[in-house]
Amino acid sequence: MKDSLNKAYWEHKYENQKTGWDIGYISTPLKFYIDQLTNKNLKILVPGAGNGYEIEYLYNKGFTNLTVLDIAEQPLLNIKNRIPNFPKERLIQQDFFEHKATYDLIIEQTFFCALDPNLREAYAAKMHECLNKNGKIVGVLFDFELTEDGPPFGGNKESYFNLFNPLFEIKFLEACYNSIKPRKGRELFFIFEKKIIIMETSVILTDEQIRNKTRRISYQIYESNSNETEIIIAGINGNGYIFAQKIAQILNQISDLEVILCKVHIDKRNPLNKITTDITADVYKNKSLVLVDDVLSSGSTLIYGIKHFLEVPLKRFKTAVLINRNHKKYPVKADFKGLSLSTSMHERVSVIFNDESSYAYLE
């Protein structure tokens, strides 16, 4: 089941009205919380919003700085039909892990429990990244045993505390007293505030350096494909796809190439799991293709990605990364790279992409 929790899975759920999680109105715990908010200018995100009853309630209460995010199109259309005047540009169909804006408040309602549990650490980190200083995540988490059956996937107070405490001040995490009857005794209400993390880190690329290196890589890709009419830029899900988007944008500015973006879905924890792409093999067959990721670390993700694309003939196949680490475990190389680093195995390289200021650091 977990392998199939993708855009197509959720679109199918909505198309066939298999939305058992949808109670048809805002849940009581969140209604009570929103009723005590006084600052109508808060910048608020509801990710994995579904039919967005929380957004509708906020909008009707006079909150205007609202953003809705969902991987599926149908629930966004449902929200638009119910709230015709809601700004279209704030109804965003996107993978949450690729979202780049920041907010004062993020509301969680049946999004966390719908994700593959292997993504929970990434969820906590992304939430931290998407919050402004002193920003909060507020919402409801299910309080029942975590098993392979799901979604919804469960958890308990201790596991949630251990997951979020490194990045957030746990302001409140207690059993809901006002759950709806079918969920009574199975919900925890929480308020987590973003911590300012002070780490022993070293910034290795600033925002300006990232922009310069992305542009240089884009020119190198163009120069090596100057005789082509089209090129596939395939980004590995997460930061790899964000980096691929940046490269594609520059290629569109500097060349006449037809640039086709492709998202590559790889389970980075278990790369042997089935790899999929959002374009079919016939689109990239016998074409020039560049596989993109943000950091080439051990090489496992990139080498399994390469293996996937080698299942069909390609005219030209290259790889590009922003940062290349020189102690790889696998015999794989980056053809285009922004920065090469000699690091020890216990050191970690991270890249943060956002609209305000991107950077990379070593810790």
- The pLDDT assigned to 199 comes to 52
Q: How far apart are CA 199 and CA 266, in angstroms?
A: 29
The answer to whether residues 106 and 176 belong to one domain is yes
User: Which residues, in sequence order, are CB contacts of 336 under 8 Å at separation 6+?
Assistant: 217, 220, 221, 290, 318, 319, 320, 321
The answer to whether residues 123 and 214 belong to one domain is no
CATH number of residue 306's parent domain:
3.40.50.2020
User: Tokens 């920041």 correspond to what residue?
Assistant: 102
How does pLDDT run along the chain (363 residues), one tens digit per residue? 344 456 677 676 767 676 666 777 888 999 999 999 999 999 999 998 788 889 999 999 999 899 999 988 888 998 999 999 999 999 999 989 889 899 999 999 888 988 888 889 989 999 999 999 899 999 999 998 887 777 788 899 999 999 999 899 999 999 999 887 888 888 999 999 998 765 556 888 999 999 999 999 999 999 999 999 999 999 999 999 999 999 999 999 999 999 999 999 998 777 888 899 999 999 999 999 999 999 988 888 898 999 999 999 999 999 999 999 876 667 788 999 999 987 766 778 889 888 777 888 887
The answer to whether residues 142 and 261 belong to one domain is no
Whether the CB-CB separation of 11 and 73 falls below 8 Å is answered with: yes
CA distances from 1 to 40, 149, 151, 236 (A): 40, 8, 8, 22
CA distances from 353 to 130, 224, 286 (A): 11, 26, 32
Whole-structure pTM value: 0.59
What the block records as the tokens of 245 is: 């988007």
- The pLDDT assigned to 283 comes to 95
The number of folded domains in the chain is 2
The answer to whether residues 170 and 217 belong to one domain is no
- The pLDDT assigned to 3 comes to 42
Instruction: Supply the range of the domain harboring residue 92.
Output: 2-194
> In one letter, which amino acid is 300?
S
The answer to whether residues 214 and 85 belong to one domain is no
What the block records as the tokens of 325 is: 């680490």
- The pLDDT assigned to 201 comes to 62
- The pLDDT assigned to 21 comes to 64
- The pLDDT assigned to 1 comes to 39
- Where is the domain boundary, 176, 194, 212? 194
The answer to whether residues 220 and 287 belong to one domain is yes
- The pLDDT assigned to 198 comes to 52
- Where is the domain boundary, 160, 194, 228? 194
The answer to whether residues 66 and 180 belong to one domain is yes
- The pLDDT assigned to 2 comes to 41
The answer to whether residues 183 and 224 belong to one domain is no
CATH number of residue 123's parent domain:
3.40.50.150
Long-range contact pairs involving 353-359 (C-beta distance under 8 Å, separation at least 24): 353/100, 353/239, 353/242, 353/243, 353/294, 354/100, 354/101, 354/102, 354/129, 355/100, 355/101, 356/102, 357/207, 358/207, 358/210, 358/211, 359/203, 359/205, 359/206, 359/207, 359/210
- Where is the domain boundary, 147, 167, 194? 194
The answer to whether residues 188 and 222 belong to one domain is no
The answer to whether residues 157 and 253 belong to one domain is no
User: Which residues, in sequence order, are CB contacts of 342 under 8 Å at separation 6+?
Assistant: 325, 326, 327
The answer to whether residues 186 and 223 belong to one domain is no
The answer to whether residues 179 and 221 belong to one domain is no
